[in-house]
Structure 1
């Protein structure tokens, strides 16, 4: 199941995955929210929390995730992946060099740190 994480700053989306994540979860929750956000924002930030209680991704959900990421390949500003799932952390770490966003991994215990990082204002070069 995927649910949206509320109360994040404008231009930032957050999702929490628990149980088994299906292609229908992507098609009914994640994809419409992301497409709507990209309709009004050139760049987005994403907080993705694979929470305790997560069991698996269905193959169709993994495919939908890949398609969505490639469709908006250069549109991601920051991505925070919050999880203690070892294989996801390993996969994200290996893929990090191929992602044009600032991608950071956080442990479940550091969810609040991830929220703070995703909400930080970009450095303006000292121009105010």
Structure 2
């Protein structure tokens, strides 16, 4: 019998029109994960005329997406794509770098892959300071 690890930590911070979404994923992202992420993000941007969303994803223990979750991710990008300013993906697998490049096709902001957490956070902080 094999053990499958799964977990999702979500942090959401809003300052004026700038939203910072922090995600840490263990195992595979599931459709159930998106049923939690999407309503939180929708509520955070509600009432903001021009929201700027920065995202930090700790994908160091991400193993991929379930098929339905990949579809959810695409829909999220289509719905909020113009609102994303920067998405920093911290990981340790080459396919995560490719996923970041593919994701950039669906949003107007910048997506960048990092192998060092500090560099990813610094890159997001630069954008945050620019927006304030």
- Bin the TM-score by the shorter chain: 0.7 to 0.9
* Unaligned residue ranges in structure 1 (runs of 5+): none
- SS of equivalent to 1:104: strand
Matched, 1:100 2:108: yes
Give matches, 1:1-128, under 5 Å. Answer: 1-5=7-11, 10=15, 11-28=19-36, 30-41=37-48, 42-52=51-61, 54-96=62-104, 99-107=107-115, 110-120=116-126, 121-122=129-130
Alignment TM-score, normalising by the size of structure 1: 0.78
Moved over 6 A (4+): none
* Unaligned residue ranges in structure 2 (runs of 5+): 1-6
Greater strand share, structure number: 2
Greater RCO (CA < 8 Å, at least 6 residues apart): 1
Aligned residues: 119
Question: What displacement does 1:101 show?
Answer: 0.3
Alignment TM-score, normalising by the size of structure 2: 0.76
Calculate the aligned-residue CA RMSD, in Å. 2.3
